[in-house]
């Protein structure tokens, strides 16, 4: 994200310091891109960015994909035997 802020600092149109509103605008744009990438990766794990995006964004998408793939849900363990009967008994108390 700091590279995006550096771009805002360069584009200050001759002013010596960037305005806070410009920095916030850049941060919002970066957050929107990240949100879009995350949603696209959740829908399609083979999602690839368009050619308009920079190489740093492609690397960021690879990191997001790696994190999403490592975030696996634990296997559901079904109750059996005595534990199952205890769960039914406890549930009947509240019916």
| pLDDT digits 0-9 by tens, 31-49 | 777 788 778 777 877 776 5
- Mean per-residue pLDDT of the chain: 70
Contact (CB, 8 A) for 22 and 8: yes
Q: Smallest Cα–Cα separation from 33: which of 7, 12, 14? A: 7
In the chain, what are the domain boundaries? 2-93
* Alpha carbon distance 61, 88 (integer Å): 46
Mean pLDDT over 55-77 rounds to: 66
* pLDDT number for residue 3: 56
């Amino acid at each position: 994200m700091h590279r995006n802020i550096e771009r805002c600092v360069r584009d200050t149109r001759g002013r010596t310091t960037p305005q806070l509103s410009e920095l916030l605008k850049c941060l919002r744009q970066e957050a929107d891109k990240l949100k879009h990438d995350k949603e696209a990766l959740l829908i399609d794990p083979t999602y690839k960015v368009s050619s308009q995006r920079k190489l740093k964004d492609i690397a960021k998408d690879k990191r997001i994909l790696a994190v999403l793939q490592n975030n696996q849900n634990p296997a559901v363990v079904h109750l059996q035997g005595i534990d199952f009967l205890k769960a039914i008994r406890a549930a009947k108390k509240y019916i």
